[in-house]
Amino acid sequence: MGLESQKAFEPSKELPAILSSAARETALAEWKAAYINQRRELAGVQADIIKHIRAEPDTPKEALVTVFDEAAERGRFSDEQRKIGAAAIEIFEERRNIIKTVRQRYPDERELFKAVFGVMPLGSVRVEDAPIHMNFICSNRIDLARVANFNKEGLAAFRGIVTDLLIYNVQGGAVFGTPRLPELKDMVVIGKGSMQNRRLGNLKIHEEQHMFRHILLAASERMREEHVVSRAEQEPWKKLLRECKDSVENDLEDELLAMSKGRAQNVSRELSESQYFQAFVVAQADALHKQLSALEAKSERDKESDSSKNDLQKVIEVLEGDQFKEELWKKTMQAYSAYQRLRNIGEFSHEEVTAFFDLEPLGQWPKLEKRIQGNWKRDE
């Protein structure tokens, strides 16, 4: 990724040596300054690249690389940070090319709608090409409800359509679409009107944040595939529980960032009253219940099946327990408070605050926020 004249700053690798150094206080002060500078540059370059893309969707990939390289030099980005940045720009370019190809194949917007969702729209449709996704703006709320539920079947489809008809009748709405064109996976948003919502704010920004975060997570995953760490020594049920908890926290973090960036009126209320919190937990538990039912249908003589059933039952018990939910909600609200504190100091935009937390685990947000503001505990 170009410029690398300055030595990369690797916070976690350098800290142990500093803590055992004779000149501990001076070295630690320098480490803290470098850490804060690096995190600020990371947030700043993410916001800058998004700004470039919004202003000029056809910004050449090389120009984005230059913007990133200059920030990487200033912030002495680590090797991992450089690799994630390079992968994110590459994934952005891949998405942009896919959207261009699909639009060339279907220049008529109604035909594009049919290709993506399998049905012709009843009302007029406008397609807005964002840099990394497509916004299908429906004039008819029935179209919006139909395509939001077209991948469901039977009673589930009926309930979904009726519910969405009631919602989209009184307010603007936006949802992720599940396209019939596999190349557009995670790149389709269906909306109504201006996509402004009384409670949820700017839904275009909201859904765009989901898209950008998907790119960052995919970039991070590409990088980590090169360094797979074995956890074979961990008990299977504990490993499964960790994976389920991570999945729920990831979903909550994704929604919390999108709501905050889209200027929702009351994020904590939306997460609870709109049942995002409950839905994410229930989705994990339901998936495990289905696996458990499938295993119970197998032969009783299958000892491996018995072992797997026990693992699933242990994880389900934890996920459905009050203690897990109470701890998770507390962690979510502490993370949201950290976001608000960082935003309220007036030094960073929503774009930058979101960038600080995009790849940070939910439970680490309060610590990161304190560090960014220069508030360090002696044991950190």
| Residue range 184-226, pLDDT digits in tens | 888 888 887 777 777 778 888 888 888 899 899 999 988 776 5
Residue 218 is assigned to a structural domain of this protein:
no
Token pair recorded at residue 9: 């700053």
CA distance linking residue 124 with residue 143, whole number of Å: 9
User: Strand order of the sheet with strand 188-192?
Assistant: 125-129, 134-138, 188-192, 174-176
Tell me: do 49 and 8 sit in the same domain.
yes
| Count of domains forming the chain | 3
DSSP 248: H
Judgement on whether residues 19 and 122 belong to the same structural domain of the protein: no
Structure tokens at 71: 């920030």
Q: For 131, which DSSP code?
A: S
The per-residue pLDDT for 20 is 72
pLDDT at residue 177 above 70?
A: no
Q: What is the mean pLDDT of residues 146-169?
A: 54
- Asked, for residue 363, whether it belongs to a domain, the answer is yes
Question: Which run of H or E residues covers position 255?
Answer: helix 236-261
At residue 62, the pLDDT reads 95
Read off the amino acid at residue 119: V
Angle between helices 303-319 and 236-261 (to 10 degrees): 40
Check residue 131 and give its pLDDT.
78
DSSP 193: T
pLDDT band at 336 (very low <50, low <70, confident <90, very high): very high
Residue 358 forms part of a structural domain: yes
- Residue 280, SS3? helix
CB atoms within 10 A of CB 68: 24
Q: What values do phi and psi take at 196, rounded to 5?
A: -105, 130
Same domain, 240 and 183: no
Residues 114 and 70 in one domain: no
Residues 183 and 318 in one domain: no
Q: Are residues 244 and 376 in the same domain?
A: yes
Q: Looking at the predicted structure, is the pLDDT value of residue 170 above 80?
A: no
Across the chain, mean pLDDT equals 83
Query: In terms of domains, do 126 and 267 share one?
Result: no
pLDDT band at 114 (very low <50, low <70, confident <90, very high): very high
73 found inside a domain: yes
From 167, 197, 227, the end of a domain falls on 197
Domain with 115 in it? 106-197
Is pLDDT above 70 for 153?
Answer: no
Query: At residue 253, what is the residue type?
Result: E
pLDDT of residue 379: 41
Percent of all residues in the chain with a pLDDT value above 70, rounded to a whole number? 83
Tokens of 327: 């701890």
Residues 379, 243 share a domain: yes
> Are 259 and 323 in the same domain?
yes
Give pLDDT tens digits for 12-48: 888 887 777 777 788 888 888 999 999 999 999 999 9
Q: What residues contact 206, with CB distance under 8 A and at least 6 apart?
A: 174, 200, 258, 259, 261, 262, 264
pLDDT of 231 above 70: no
- Could you tell me the pLDDT band of residue 378, with boundaries at 50, 70 and 90? very low
| DSSP secondary structure, 139-182, as one string | SSHHHHHHHHSTT--HHHHHHHHHHHHHHHHHS--EEE---SSG
Residue 171: what pLDDT?
A: 46
Is 178 found in the same domain as 116? yes
Q: Residues near 307 by Cβ (< 8 Å), separated by ≥ 6?
A: 236
246 in the same domain as 189: no
Residue 208 falls within a domain, yes or no? no
- Say whether both 335 and 249 belong to one domain: yes
Q: Look up the pTM and report it.
A: 0.80
- Is residue 75 predicted with pLDDT exceeding 50? yes
The answer to whether position 55 is within a domain reads yes
* 107: phi then psi, degrees, rounded to nearest 5: -70, -25
C-beta of residue 344 within 8 angstroms of C-beta of residue 309: no
Question: What integer pLDDT is reported at residue 159 of this predicted model?
Answer: 54
